[in-house]
Amino acid sequence: MLCALIMAGGKGTRFWPKSTDKLPKQFINLISEKSMLQLTYDRINKLVDKEHIFIVTNKDYYNLVKEQINGIKDENIILEPCSKNTAPCILLSSFYIKNLYGNANIVCLASDNTVENEDKFINNIQIADDFVTKNKKAIVTLGIKPTRPETGYGYIKYHDGNGTVLKVDKFVEKPNYDLAVEYLNEGHYLWNAGLFIFNIESMLEELKINMPNDYQLLEKIPNYNESNYKVILEENYAQCQKISIDYAVMEKSNQIYTIPSDIGWDDVGSWQALERYLKKDDNGNIKKGNIETIKSQNNIIYGNDKKIILLDVNNLFCIDTDEILIIGNKEKINEIYELRDR
């Protein structure tokens, strides 16, 4: 059996001021009429039925999940008491899903990625699921074939080999530009999409070895009755270390494999990334909202219902929300989030 786990607990700070603590990026209609979470859910629902799709998120976002995912059952929402990064999140979720469905396979997904070729995406997951079913200890990532020298992603270096599923040599931190160009030209490096398939028992064994204290803290939580579950989860989860699954498992295990994937994947991680997804007008402007541009070129304007008019200006960004309006040089748009703490 294949279950899906969508991680949707992030704060999306790089998309401030549109993304806030109360309404983070994954719940916003950034690039379509649907939110990033809804797009992710609909995509994986083509392969996994709703009964086996789980969303793990912060307890503060329970109502948002219920509002956006029509008909989702409470048992398919796993709530984190606090943010502890992806390793404790996956540990808790693996125990939770195992308690319901035993030793299933899980495809783990971020809630805020884009995929253009969904048929290839589904096919690659099926290949990975088959591989994990036959090789229980394997963890298979979908490594994305790079299309540009991206410095904002981690990379996967893989071994040469025959077949679709290849052994991973190592994970590589986000490179500088020159190194990213080298990776692109060398041809044995893939973007690390954080999208992977594993067997529950095998992942729990990896986490037990690499995070023994956290394992003991969370191991018995799904077995508590409802009245004690939340109290004990709150207390024990707060004691877990804050660490990503890459650092905790993926960079340490010798059972990591990858499928080089050309599926049109991308991480919408910053305001500037919208230029890759939203259609430009004839003058190179990106407009979302009630926008009019006159004698204006190469601007990014993101608003709401309020009318915004740009007259004879170039290379600006304008981000308008109910609480704040920010205007600046488009080259500095990725620095917006640095204003958040002022």
pLDDT at 333: 87
CA distance 195 to 53: 15
Say if residues 137 and 202 touch (Cβ distance below 8 Å). yes
pLDDT at residue 126 is higher than 90:
yes
Q: Which of 211, 205, 251 is nearest to 103 (CA)?
A: 205
* Nearest residue to 81 via CA among 210, 236, 216: 236
Going by C-alpha positions, the residue among 202, 147, 149 that lies closest to residue 178 is: 149
* Residue 176 CB-density burial (10 A; 0-12 exposed, 13-18 middle, 19+ buried): exposed
Portion of the chain with pLDDT greater than 90, in percent: 68
Q: Which residues contact 119 (CB under 8 A, 6 or more apart)?
A: none
Above 80 in pLDDT, residue 225?
A: no
**pLDDT tens-digit map of 47-90:** 999 999 999 999 999 999 999 999 999 999 999 999 999 999 99
Cβ-contact 81, 237 below 8 angstroms: yes
Average pLDDT for the chain = 91
165 touches 128 (CB < 8 A): yes
Token pair belonging to 325: 């309006």
In angstroms, the CA 203 to CA 137 distance is 8
Whole-prediction pTM value?
Answer: 0.91
| Distance from C-alpha of 57 to C-alpha of 71, rounded to nearest angstrom | 17
Give the integer Cα–Cα distance in Å for 100 and 297.
55
